[in-house]
Copies of this chain bind each other. A is one copy, B any other.
Amino acid sequence: MAMQKIITFRTDQQNGLYDITSDVVSLIKASKVRSGIASVYARGSTAAIMIQENWDQSVQNDVVTLLRRIIPPGIWEHDRQDNNGDAHLKAGLVGASETIPIIDYNPGLSTWQNIFFCEFDGPRERREVVVTIIAEK
């Protein structure tokens, strides 16, 4: 009965959202937990987790556009080290974790809510998301 799993994958864009819903749902199903929570955590200080619509690609593109607009590249103190100050700021603002309820053995997402890994400093050969399932008791 797997209750914690590290999901790994590669990213092919510098900035982009990657849908990890099916991986999280698989783990919830495998856990056989009826009621509880699934904690989803992005390892890496230039990445984040966002619950967002997945009808098509448009909202995902808009997220990248918005973050570039409010956090432009090239103007940060940290750029003198890695030239990725904007990536860290985007990650910090969106946040590394989201917690999703488990209701009757299923994720408590609404119809249009999916779970996305946000890449802000890609492409990367290996990214990691930790999913931890906690039963109500």
**A binding-site residues for B, Cβ under 8 Å:** 3-4, 6, 35-37, 39, 41, 43-45, 50-53, 55-56, 58-59, 61-63, 65-66, 70-71, 76-78, 80-81, 85, 88-89, 91-103, 108-110, 112-113, 128, 130, 132-137
Contacts and interface: CB of A to CB of B under 8 A. Distances in A.
Q: Which of A53, A56, A113, A133 has the most CB of B within 10 A?
A: A53
Nearest to A109: B43
Given A62-B76, A70-B70, A78-B59, A130 B113 contact: no
Protomer copies: 3
A3 to B, nearest CB: 5
Nearest to A53: B45
A125 to B, nearest CB: 15
